[in-house]
C-alpha cells in the first residue's frame, strides 16, 4: 500500500500486512541473497534517470559491476574514479539495497558539499519511489536529508565536518569526494569517525584525486601497499582498505576522439587529474601541478637541531642563505633556505615558529659557520640576507648588535633602483612587484628543471601555494614560509648576478639554456684552499 509523502511522491506505508505472489516471493528471496542480492536488485528494480533516455533500469557497465562487487566483498573500500563515471549512481543503488534488505542499519552519507549530499539522496529517493511496491520497504520517516524504514534501518546524509557522525552508531559510512574536503576538517572527521567503525562498521570512500597529501590520498596509497611484513600479498592494503579504480576509457561512450575533444575543452592538466585519476594539485598553483607531481623530495642526510641538510657544502661552490623572519611566538614560522650555486640545488633549510628573533639570527650564523667550516675557507663564498619588512627590522637590529662581521660571508641588500627615493635599509623589502618577480623566476627555474628542490616540506608547501587575486599565497589552513624564504633566495641571486659581469654571464646562462652548466670557479675567490 502506498501513500503520499510530504513532497507528494509515492512512498510505502510501514507495518502493513501484505500478500505476495510466488514470483514476488522468489524475487524477494533473490534480493535477500547475501552473496548476489545486491546485483539482482540493481539490475531488476533500481531505476535511474538517464540524461537523454529518461527513466530506465540501472544496467551497470562492467567497471560499475566490479565496483559493486568491491563494495559488497570488502569491509573497507576506497575508490579513485574518473569524473562522471557513474560512481554516484552505483553508490545510490547499493546503499538503497543495503538499507532495505539489512535490518537495524545506520548508513551515513558524508559529502564534500551540501549539494553533493542532496544529489545522492535524490538518486536514492528516485530509485526507491520507482521500485515495485512489493520490493520497497515501508518508510517511517522520509525527507530530503534522511530516510527511515520499517526494518529499523535508516539513511542519513550530511555535509562533511569535523563533527559529522559524532555520537552515531554507524553501520555503513559513504564518503563522497573526500579528497576535496578541507584537509584539517578531513583529518578531524576521520579521527572522530574511525572509532565508530571499529565495532563492525563498514566504509566506502569515493573521490576523484586532488592533492597527493590529503587524507584521501593517504588512505588510497596505503590501500595499494598490499604486502605484509613477510612480503606476502594481501587482498587489502596495510590499512585494511581495498582500493578500486577504473580508467576513463572503460566507459563505453568514451574513446580517443572523445578524449581529444575533452582535453581541448578543459586542458591536459585538468583532464589528467579528473579523468586520468592522477594526483595533481587541483588549485592554480604557482608551479605547474603536473610538474609538482613529478618532484620527489629526499630525506635529509643530516640534521643539526631543526636544520635539515640535503647536501654537504664544498669550497668550489657559492652558497646563498636567505632568512624570512617571524615573531617566534607560535604563530607564523621563520624559515631559512640554503641554495648552492651555480648548480641551483637546495642543500638545506630550517623552519620553526617558537624561536625568537635573536635565536633565528644565531641559527643563521650557525648555518654560515658550518658552510665556512666545510668549505675550509673564510666564508667568501657565502652570501646571506633577511627580509626587512616589519619583523625583519627587529632582525636587522639583532644583526647590528651581534656584529655583521661575526656572521661568515657577506650580507646582501637590495640596491636602490634609479628613480626610487627611499632611505636605504639592509636586507630585502618585499612588495607586490618584487614578490611577483621572484615567483616568476622560481616558476621558470623549477619547471625547466634548473632548480633542484630536495625538501619534502617545501614541495608540500608549493602544492598549497596558489593564485590569490594578482598574487600567490598559501591555501587557508596551510603555510608558505619555506616558499617565502625560497622566493627571497631568488631575489638575492638576482642581485648577485648584477654585481659582476662574470657572475652575470654564468647565472644568465644557467637560467636561459636547457641544461644547467657545470659549476664554474668564478663564484668563489681564487685563494680558496
What are the per-10-residue average pLDDT scores of the chain (529 residues)? 50 86 95 96 94 89 96 96 92 97 96 91 95 94 92 95 86 94 89 84 93 88 76 80 94 93 90 88 81 90 94 94 93 94 94 95 97 94 94 93 94 74 79 91 92 94 88 88 96 82 49 37 30
Three-state DSSP class for 388?
coil
- Write out 91-112 in H/E/C secondary structure: HHHHHHHHHHHCCCCEEEEEEC
Domain 2-246 belongs to what architecture? 3-Layer(aba) Sandwich (3.40)
342: preceding bond cis by omega (within 30 degrees)? yes
At 273 the pLDDT is: 87
At 529 the pLDDT is: 28
Helix (H) / strand (E) element for 443: namely: helix 432-447
- Identify which of 166, 159, 217, 153 has the alpha carbon closest to the alpha carbon of residue 193: 166
At 496 the pLDDT is: 86
Three-state DSSP class for 206?
strand
Considering the domain 302-513 in this protein, what is its CATH number? 3.30.420.240
Domain regions of the chain by residue span: 2-246, 252-278, 302-513
At 211 the pLDDT is: 80
pTM of whole model > 0.85?
A: no
At 402 the pLDDT is: 93
Residue 148: alpha-carbon gap to chain centroid? 35
At 123 the pLDDT is: 95
Number of H helices, E strands in the chain: 16, 21
At 16 the pLDDT is: 83
**Comparing 2-246 with 302-513, is the CATH topology the same?**
no
Three-state DSSP class for 403?
coil
Three-state DSSP class for 288?
coil
Amino acid at each position: 500500500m502506498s501513500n503520499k509523502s510530504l513532497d507528494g511522491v509515492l512512498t510505502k506505508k510501514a507495518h502493513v500486512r501484505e500478500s505476495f505472489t510466488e514470483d514476488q516471493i522468489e524475487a524477494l528471496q533473490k534480493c535477500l541473497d547475501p552473496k548476489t542480492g545486491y546485483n539482482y536488485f540493481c539490475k531488476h528494480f533500481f531505476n535511474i534517470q538517464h540524461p537523454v533516455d529518461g527513466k530506465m533500469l540501472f544496467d551497470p557497465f562492467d567497471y560499475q559491476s566490479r565496483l559493486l562487487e568491491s563494495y559488497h566483498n570488502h569491509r573497507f573500500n576506497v575508490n579513485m574514479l574518473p569524473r562522471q563515471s557513474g560512481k554516484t549512481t552505483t553508490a545510490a543503488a547499493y546503499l538503497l539495497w543495503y538499507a532495505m534488505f539489512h535490518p537495524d542499519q545506520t548508513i551515513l552519507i558524508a559529502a564534500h558539499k551540501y549539494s553533493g549530499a542532496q544529489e545522492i539522496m535524490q538518486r536514492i529517493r528516485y530509485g526507491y519511489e520507482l521500485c515495485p511496491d512489493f520490493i520497497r520497504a515501508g518508510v517511517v520517516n522520509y525527507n530530503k536529508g534522511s530516510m527511515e524504514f520499517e526494518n529499523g534501518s535508516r539513511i542519513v546524509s550530511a555535509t562533511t565536518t569535523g563533527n559529522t557522525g559524532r555520537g552515531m552508531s554507524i553501520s555503513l559510512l559513504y564518503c563522497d569526494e573526500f579528497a576535496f574536503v578541507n584537509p584539517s576538517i578531513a583529518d578531524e572527521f576521520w579521527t572522530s569517525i574511525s572509532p565508530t567503525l571499529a565495532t563492525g562498521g563498514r566504509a566506502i570512500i569515493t573521490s576523484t584525486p586532488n592533492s597527493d597529501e590529503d587524507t584521501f590520498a593517504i588512505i588510497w596509497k596505503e590501500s595499494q601497499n598490499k604486502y605484509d611484513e613477510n612480503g606476502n600479498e594481501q587482498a587489502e592494503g596495510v590499512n585494511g582498505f581495498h582500493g578500486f579504480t577504473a580508467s576513463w576509457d572503460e566507459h563505453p561512450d568514451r574513446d580517443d576522439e572523445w578524449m581529444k575533444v575533452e582535453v581541448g575543452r578543459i586542458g591536459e592538466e585538468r583532464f589528467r587529474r579528473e579523468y586520468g585519476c592522477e594526483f595533481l594539485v587541483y588549485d592554480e598553483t604557482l608551479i605547474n601541478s603536473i610538474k609538482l607531481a613529478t618532484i620527489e623530495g629526499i630525506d635529509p642526510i643530516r640534521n643539526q637541531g631543526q636544520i635539515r641538510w640535503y647536501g654537504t657544502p664544498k669550497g668550489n661552490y657559492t652558497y646563498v642563505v636567505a632568512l624570512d623572519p617571524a615573531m617566534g611566538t607560535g604563530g607564523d614560522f621563520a624559515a631559512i633556505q640554503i641554495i648552492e650555486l651555480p648548480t641551483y640545488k637546495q642543500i638545506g633549510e630550517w623552519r620553526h615558529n617558537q624561536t625568537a628573533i635573536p635565536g633565528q639570527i644565531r641559527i643563521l650564523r650557525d648555518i654560515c659557520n658550518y658552510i665556512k667550516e666545510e668549505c675550509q675557507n673564510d666564508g667568501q663564498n657565502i652570501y646571506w640576507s633577511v627580509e626587512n619588512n616589519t619583523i625583519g627590522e627587529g632582525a636587522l637590529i639583532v644583526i647590528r648588535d651581534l656584529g655583521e662581521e661575526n656572521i661568515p660571508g657577506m650580507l646582501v641588500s637590495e640596491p636602490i633602483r634609479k628613480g626610487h627615493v627611499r632611505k636605504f635599509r639592509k636586507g630585502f623589502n618585499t612588495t607586490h612587484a618584487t614578490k611577483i618577480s621572484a615567483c616568476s623566476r622560481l616558476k621558470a627555474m623549477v619547471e625547466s628543471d634548473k632548480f633542484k628542490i630536495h625538501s619534502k616540506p617545501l614541495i608540500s608547501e608549493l602544492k598549497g601555494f596558489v593564485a590569490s587575486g594578482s598574487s600567490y599565497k598559501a591555501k587557508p589552513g596551510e603555510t608558505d614560509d619555506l616558499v617565502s624564504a625560497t622566493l627571497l633566495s631568488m631575489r638575492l641571486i638576482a642581485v648577485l648576478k648584477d654585481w659582476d659581469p662574470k657572475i652575470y654571464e654564468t647565472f644568465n646562462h644557467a637560467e636561459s639554456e636547457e641544461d644547467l652548466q657545470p659549476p664554474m670557479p668564478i663564484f668563489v675567490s681564487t685563494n680558496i684552499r
